[in-house]
Structure 1
């Protein structure tokens, strides 16, 4: 099953994250299907970018969105995508 989640990047004490579509069974730093955006909390205000059309594509294919990505989209007022969680 495909999941849209955060992938931690950066160095110690200076994290930034990629928003990626990946297989649920892959490790956190494993191979990804597609990079959909990024989040960098070290800036003030934090940088957040998301390709909502590609997120909508993956959700239509059956991907689930992680709780963290859902919270970020609401926090930064991106167009919410209907959750497919059961």
Structure 2
């Protein structure tokens, strides 16, 4: 089963997240099928960029 997840990347105390599609049983730090966007919580307000077309593709 596939899931949409946030995978943490970046340095210690400078977290940055990628929105990914992966198998439910896989580790978020391992392989994933596709990166769909990212989240930067350090901007004010937090910045979320996504590829809407690809999200719609994976949700169908």
Question: Aligned partners of 1:2, 1:11: CA distance in 2, in Å?
Answer: 27
Matching residue of 2:22:
22
Q: Normalization by structure 1: what TM-score?
A: 0.66
Structure having the larger proportion of residues in strand: 2
Corresponding pairs, count:
60
Deviation at 1:45, TM superposition (A): 2.0
Matching residue of 2:47:
47
1:67-78 mapped onto 2 (5 Å cutoff): none
Question: Aligned partners of 2:42, 2:10: CA distance in 1, in Å?
Answer: 11
Structure 2: where are the runs of 5+ without partners?
none
Aligned-pair Cα RMSD in Å:
0.8
Matching residue of 1:34:
34
Matching residue of 2:6:
6
Structure 1: where are the runs of 5+ without partners?
61-86
Deviation at 1:7, TM superposition (A): 0.5
Structure 1 runs of 4+ off > 2 angstroms?
A: none
Structure having the larger proportion of residues in helix: 1
